[in-house]
Amino acid sequence: MPKFACQRKKRMVCGMRYFIKNIKNIPLWRVILAVALLFCMAYGSYDNLAVYGQPSIQETILVGLDNVTTMLFYVILMLIVFDFGFKNSRPAAETRQNKYGNALVFALIVCLVFEAIYIVSCFIILLITGGSINFADTFTDITLNGLEWMSPTLAMAISIFLFYLRFVFLTCLVTAINSRSRKAPYGYAAGLAVCLADAIGYFHFSLFDPIGVFPFEHSFLESALRLTRDVPLDIIISVIYWLALIAAAGLIYDAGIRKKTDKEARLNESHHF
């Protein structure tokens, strides 16, 4: 097996061990509350659409993810409730071997699970309220403005992907900032700052004429698909945007861990002498 493949496999194994170790440390009540929040997201989406009849599963999922309440409120609340990146990501004996890759694997898996729980919640709510699942690939009267040309299924898929990248970035940002702080969870303040900047941009700039700077412009379909008016290119730009932010969070994280490791090394040397 090539050396690169062995190293990649080793990193994946370390990442999974890190995930299992940290997921076990999360109290059950936090998990239950996080799932309850996801269920509330799903019900809120259904409630917005129900006045027009039984909505389709595609549009229920879409409207729950692609709205200002979810983008600016539910996401950061979910991070705080689930306690991302505070106690779990910064054990006292952190070393350079426990790098950002492990935290990233943790974020990728947990955010994926959260999205899966949200989607399942949408199915459950539609079954409870209507007794069946509507798979009609048409929008209702409160469709996303200007996107009537796109099928709900495609819009849903793109929205799930963009929301996932946003969720992963905020999780990584919280983890990275908290890795540099000793007691106070400043990472949550950083996440709130991002959401606040997004809120200011959202309410002062048009969704339909994005400048491509604010995170919300790469989260909402109305903005993300109007960056260049070329849908494939717009999606590529948004993906690059989120990957760049996730990589920046990684630099912050590694710098924080390096600082802690160097400090511990100096303390050990002073004790030795």
Q: Is the pLDDT of residue 7 over 50?
A: yes
Neighbours of 208 (CB within 10 A): 10
Is residue 2 assigned to a domain? Answer: no
If you write DSSP's letter for every residue of 195-214 in order, what string do you get? HHHHHHHHHHS-TTS--S-S
Please give the residue that has the higher pLDDT: either 182 or 59.
59
pLDDT in tens, 102-147: 778 888 888 898 999 999 999 999 998 877 787 877 777 555 556 6
Is residue 1 assigned to a domain? Answer: no
Please state, in angstroms and rounded to a whole number, the distance separating the CA atoms of residues 116 and 23: 17
pLDDT in tens, 240-271: 999 999 999 888 888 766 666 655 555 555 55
Is residue 4 assigned to a domain? Answer: no
Is residue 228 assigned to a domain? Answer: yes
Q: How far is CA 30 from CA 23, 82, 91, 109, 129, in A?
A: 11, 5, 19, 17, 27
**Total domain count for the chain?**
1
Q: Is the pLDDT of residue 4 over 80?
A: no
Question: Any idea which of 140-149, 159-168, 199-208, 216-225 has the lowest mean pLDDT?
Answer: 140-149
Q: How far is CA 34 from CA 21, 93, 121, 234, in A?
A: 19, 28, 12, 32
Is residue 155 assigned to a domain? Answer: yes
Please state, in angstroms and rounded to a whole number, the distance separating the CA atoms of residues 253 and 251: 5
pTM: 0.82
Please state, in angstroms and rounded to a whole number, the distance separating the CA atoms of residues 82 and 28: 10
> Which residue from 44, 37, 77 is spatially nearest to 62, judged by alpha carbons?
44
pLDDT in tens, 24-35: 677 788 888 888
Is residue 182 assigned to a domain? Answer: yes
pLDDT at 271: 54
Q: Which domain holds residue 18?
A: 9-265
Which of the four pLDDT bands, split at 50, 70 and 90, describes residue 87? very low
Burial of 37 (0-12, 13-18, 19+ CB in 10 A): buried
Is residue 272 assigned to a domain? Answer: no
Helices and strands, number each (H, E), in the chain? 10, 0
Please state, in angstroms and rounded to a whole number, the distance separating the CA atoms of residues 33 and 37: 6
